[in-house]
Structure 1
Amino acid sequence: MGKTYDVRIWSVRQRKDRGQTSAELRWKTGGTPHSQTFRTKTLAEGRRAELLRAAHAGEPFDESTGAPLSELRQRNDLSWYQHAREYIEMKWQHSPGSTRRTLAEAMATVTPALVRDTKGMADPRTVRTALYSWAFNVSRRDQEPPDEVAAVLAWLERKSLPTSALADRMQVRAALDALTKKLDGTTAAASTIRRKRAIFHNALGYAVDAGRLTDNPLPQVQWKSPEQVAEELDPASVPDPRQALALLDAVRTQSPRGRRLVAFFGCMYYAAARPAEVIGLRLQDCDLPRRGWGTLRLRETRPRSGSAWTDSGEAHDRRGLKHRPRKAVRTVPIPPDLVNLLRWHVTAYGVAPDGRLFRTQRGGLIQDTGYGEVWAEARSRALTPAQCASLLAKRPYDLRHAAVSTWLSSGVEPQEVAARAGHSVAVLFRVYAKCLDGGAATANARIERALKNGS
Structure 2
Amino acid sequence: MTEWSYTVRIWAIRERSYRKPFQLRWQVGHRPHSESFLTKGLAESRRAQLITASRAGEPFDVDSGFPKSMVQKEKDIPWYQHARNYIEMKWDQAPATTRKNLAEAMATVTPILVKDTKGMADPRAVRTALYGWAFNVNRWDQEPPPEVKAVLAWFERKSLPTSALAQRMLVRKALNACTKRMDGKTSAGSVIARKRAIFHQALGYAVDAELLTENPIPGLRWKAPERAEEEVDPECVPDPELSEQLLAAVRAQGPRGRHLEAFFGCILYAASRPGETVGLERSDFHLPRQGWGKVWLRESRPRAGSPWTDSGEAHDRKGLKHRPRKAVRPVPIPPRLVALLRWHITVHGVAPDGRLFRTARGGMVQESGYGEVWARARRTVLSPVDQKTKLAKRPYDLRHTAVSTWLSAGVEPQIVAERAGHSVGVLFRVYAKFLKGGEEAANAKISERLRQGRSATP
Residues 20 and 39 in structure 2, CA contact (< 8 A), matched pair in contact too: no
1:71-109 deviation per Cα after TM superposition (whole angstroms, max 9, x unaligned): 111111112112111211221122121111110000111
Deviation at residue 48 of structure 1 after TM alignment: 3.3
1:441 is the counterpart of 2:436: no
Structure 2 counterpart of 1:179, which letter? C
Give the match for residue 6 of structure 2: 5
> Which residue of structure 1 aligns with residue 156 of structure 2?
157
The alignment status of 1:345 with 2:351, answered yes or no, reads no
Is the 1:24–1:35 contact (alpha carbons within 8 Å) kept by the matching residues of 2?
Answer: no
Paired position in structure 1 for 2:205: 206
Partners in 2 of 1:449 and 1:7 — Cα distance? 79
Instruction: Identify the residue that residue 238 of structure 2 maps to in structure 1.
Output: 239
2-structure distance, mates of 1:113, 1:451: 64
Structure 2 unaligned segments of length 5 or more: list them.
none
Q: Is the 8 A contact 1:267 1:273 kept in 2?
A: yes
1:354 aligns with 2:336: no
Q: In the TM superposition, what is the alpha-carbon distance from 1:428 to its structure 2 partner?
A: 0.9
Which residue in the other structure is 1:392 paired with? 391
- Give the CA deviation at 1:53: 1.8
Q: Which amino acid aligns with 2:420?
A: A
State the TM-score, normalized to the length of structure 2: 0.93
User: Shift of residue 12 of structure 1?
Assistant: 5.0
Alignment-mate amino acid for residue 410 of structure 1: A
1:219 aligns to what SS in structure 2? coil
For structure 1, which segment, 179-188 or 78-87, has the greater mean C-alpha deviation from structure 2 after superposition? 78-87
Partner of 2:262: 263
Q: Which residue of 2 aligns with 1:80?
A: 79
Q: Counterparts of 1:365-380 in structure 2 under 5 Å?
A: 365-380=364-379
The answer to whether the Cα contact below 8 Å between 1:375 and 1:396 also exists between their aligned partners in 2 is: yes
Q: Deviations over 1:248-293 (max 9, x none)?
A: 1111111201111111110000000001111121111211111111
Deviation at 1:47, TM superposition (A): 3.4
Match of 2:177 in 1: 178
Secondary structure class of the residue paired with 2:306: coil
Contact 2:96 2:308 in 1 (8 A): yes
TM-align CA RMSD = 2.1
How far did residue 416 of structure 1 move?
A: 0.7
CA contact (8 A) 1:404 1:421 kept: yes
Structure 1 residues 112 and 268 mapped into 2: Cα distance closer, same or farther (>3 Å)? same
CA contact (8 A) 1:22 1:37 kept: no
Supply the AA of the counterpart residue of 2:9.
R
2:413 is matched with 414
> Aligned equivalents of 1:444 and 1:131: distance in 2?
57
Is this contact kept in 2: 1:26–1:33, CA < 8 A? no
Q: Do the aligned partners of 2:33 and 2:65 also contact (CA within 8 Å) in 1?
A: no
Take 2:63 and 2:337, find their aligned partners in 1: how far apart are those partners? Answer: 65
SS of 1:308's equivalent?
A: helix
Does 2:36 match 1:38? yes
CA distance in 1, matches of 2:346, 2:24: 85
SS in 1 for 2:34: strand
Shift of 1:447: 3.6
Offset at 1:336?
Answer: 0.6
Tell whether the 8 Å contact from 2:292 to 2:332 is kept in structure 1 after alignment. yes
Pick closer, same or farther for the CA change 1:280–1:28 going to 2, 3 Å: farther
Deviation of the 1:25 alpha carbon: 4.7
SS class of match (2:110): helix
1:272 aligns with 2:310: no
In the TM superposition, residue 348 of structure 1 has moved relative to its aligned partner by 1.1
Judge which range, 154-163 or 311-320, deviates more: 154-163
Instruction: Assess, with a 3 A threshold, how the Cα gap between structure 1 residues 122 and 20 changes in structure 2: closer, same or farther.
Output: closer
Question: Does residue 110 of structure 1 match 2:71?
Answer: no
The CA distance in 2 between the partners of 1:454 and 1:50, in whole Å, is 83
Does 2:274 correspond to 1:299? no
**Is contact 2:293-2:334 (8 Å) kept?**
yes
Q: 1:142 to 1:447 in 2, by over 3 A?
A: same
Deviation at 1:241, TM superposition (A): 0.7
Aligned length, in residue pairs: 452
Where does structure 1 lack aligned partners over 5 or more consecutive residues?
Answer: none
The 1:35/1:386 distance shift into structure 2, 3 A limit, reads same
